[in-house]
Structure 1
């Protein structure tokens, strides 16, 4: 019996990981590495915005091929970037999806720009899609793209994966034209969410607001003659890639550098994009509360916060940077001595290999977002720990990762007292308990890796 040929994949995302443009060693791990691997196996194209702005939209596609993967990118006019990307995607959808109604901006003009860019992307990628291709669309920037492709006669199987949370119905309905947006999403054949929580919120909206027929057990949504399957697919890390990076010379040098600079103190680390969803001011408040409650431990603990800047064109991101600098300065001013400072705050990025070294040297990791679709830092930290002397993961209950990693020390990131107690617990945790927690966590991180995530989603889309 002949085997069916493997379907080609067309990946569509806001930005494309063009290999030659990624100069940092190890940068092809994670999502980019997994999607590149899937494209190498199946063949296909990765399409999206180039990240560059142009004077007017031409739709000209830049096709490149590197290491067996074809990428296709287009430039967008400055107005599109401002309205679609900085505006609707990152000033409306991103805060709303992270439960921050206080930061959500509702501007008709940016909404129109968002729809215009999705229409332009559909028009550009449409001719690249061949009969039998599987189309895989990613993230909140492109929620209506499937419907735009259907309108152009694309009847291929089209899947969508949301990397962020999906908010409860009573928050989502604050979005103007929310019903129209979800109707477009139901043009997809398969919709993936990071966790069961986000999936349940979406199913509840479809049943309550659209009156769709929803089978909660299977995730099948029947609406206006079309059936969509919605499921949870918790994303993982590229475990083999991360552990390989942890064994490089760059990682060993970074580990030694942090250990030497800690000068005998236990190092705790946080690695986060500078974003209000990550709970960084609240985390610094918790660390301040720890030192207030246990002032004698200022010589036992040093906290390193690595927070590369992001989306600097959005005002709320500038505000959070100013707030962090102020809070960190206040704690260091009150608690530093001539030879030590309790907090180090670094506004730059590091390679994955260097981060693995820092993780290995840190006996505590603080991963305390106020809301997060998953959070892969938590998984990277566990992946590189020494099995004989593992560190302790302190994890927000509101990160998607908490549903898989309940052997971490779970905390309410809004409570400085809860964070202070968790740090104290982690600092004094006996080796036997640290190993027990680690052994449960590493099994999840190793087995439910990003290759498992990719294959499961693609198999379900194909089926």
Structure 2
């Protein structure tokens, strides 16, 4: 069996799958093949005054039979590659927010420089028959840099965030270079069929790519396969987490404190892509237009801190605090606060209990690659008395989770109507919807995702 080499911006110990995220997705395949996981160390080092950004040291350590390889970055490279281009250009553009992108040419230079550095540091660690799996928007050009120094291994790429339509992609300066870099891969994985369609339209319009059938496109003297592989969760692991002490304590505490209320739940990073202000405005409409929910429904909104030094995020935090205060001031009673807004990270071990205690989950991003909170909410429910998922049609998960109540988060009145429907949904309908949703997240769980992607990559013919 060929060794798996996983590459991502950050590296995690694959033995600590309880942390969730990419560690869960990759741990099984890495352990099976005695794999290598390569990425940034998390250290951004200051360079000497007047110096130029230098190459960081390579650190190797063992995590069982998996090798972890990490590279330090200079502060200048980190700020240009990570803060500047990855999160100041690609993140907002890929989430359809051109107005928030900062197209500073120095950011692109740093982005290219770090990807070249990663290629130089990774190449000597590779074996001839390795299969390389590169993850996310931070590392789009890495395969082309590896090819340039002679790497002929099979290389796949998975984009965890959405890919926008061609005209939005074309707004990125030097977008042609960025998209051309994708043709250095053998397999491109996207979260949804919509993302694949956007890629197909872009490369045919902008690169005159020739469709070759079977999800393949040829341009720049190379053929690449592009396909949807919706990422999932480890359903059994999350259910087991729900049986843990912390989850049980959280469930019992929430049930006791809100015995007279119906809980609505939002769990997000504080990010402009998550549609948080629109969600609060929809909740306001619910209380204004369906007054029977006053003193009855409580929204618990957890918004974990994220990139608070960035102006757009600081503005969002202020808006959320103002909206929460306004709703509580207008509708609150001495014994009832409509919105419980929590600007802190909640321990993952407590999340299943929080989900299970909630009647409705509001997962209403303006744009999201997938959104695993929606799937975790389904896994956490009591099958005898399940809650209802209200899901944005603009989340990648909406392609799979069709039995959720799908909403347009920009339409706050219609979203309020969907919340009202969820709060008053009969038990029989809740049973039926939850059963179908649980079947779907089990059929395409995180192990299916990893297995199907790697199978497709191993079967893909290079160039």
Q: Into which bin does the TM-score normalised by the smaller protein fall?
A: over 0.9
Q: Superposition pairs for residues 11-22 of structure 1, below 5 Å?
A: 11-18=6-13
Q: SS state of the match for residue 51, structure 1? A: strand
**Equivalent residues, number:** 453
Matched, 1:36 2:27: yes
Residue in 2 that maps onto 1:192: 189
Matched, 1:386 2:382: yes
Q: SS state of the match for residue 304, structure 2? A: coil
Structure 2 residues not aligned, in runs of 5+: 48-53
Residue 61 of structure 1 deviates from its aligned partner by 1.2
Q: SS state of the match for residue 368, structure 2? A: coil
Residue in 2 that maps onto 1:3: none
Residue 278 of structure 1 deviates from its aligned partner by 0.4
Residue 19 of structure 1 deviates from its aligned partner by 5.8
Q: Superposition pairs for residues 417-456 of structure 1, below 5 Å?
A: 417-456=413-452
Residue 340 of structure 1 deviates from its aligned partner by 1.1
Q: Superposition pairs for residues 207-218 of structure 1, below 5 Å?
A: 207-215=204-212, 217-218=213-214
The correspondence for 1:254, drawn from 250, 256, 268, is 250
Deviation digits for residues 330-389 of structure 1, max 9, x if unmatched?
Answer: 101111111110000111112222000000000100000000010000000001111111
Residue in 2 that maps onto 1:51: 42
CA contact (8 A) 1:279 1:368 kept: yes
Residue in 2 that maps onto 1:231: 227
CA distance in 1, matches of 2:307, 2:37: 23
Residue 52 of structure 1 deviates from its aligned partner by 1.3
Structure 1 residues not aligned, in runs of 5+: 1-5
CA contact (8 A) 1:379 1:445 kept: yes
Cα-Cα RMSD: 1.3
Matched, 1:10 2:40: no
Q: TM-score, normalised by structure 2?
A: 0.96
CA distance in 2, matches of 1:441, 1:365: 14
CA distance in 2, matches of 1:61, 1:81: 15
Q: SS state of the match for residue 18, structure 2? A: coil
CA distance in 1, matches of 2:317, 2:75: 25
CA distance in 1, matches of 2:388, 2:438: 12
Residue 124 of structure 1 deviates from its aligned partner by 1.0
Q: SS state of the match for residue 227, structure 2? A: strand
Residue 32 of structure 1 deviates from its aligned partner by 1.0
CA contact (8 A) 2:2 2:130 kept: yes
CA contact (8 A) 1:332 1:342 kept: yes
Q: TM-score, normalised by structure 1?
A: 0.96
Residue 299 of structure 1 deviates from its aligned partner by 1.5
Q: SS state of the match for residue 186, structure 1? A: helix
CA contact (8 A) 2:14 2:24 kept: no
Deviation digits for residues 263-320 of structure 1, max 9, x if unmatched?
Answer: 3101110100110000001101100111111233122111101111112232211111
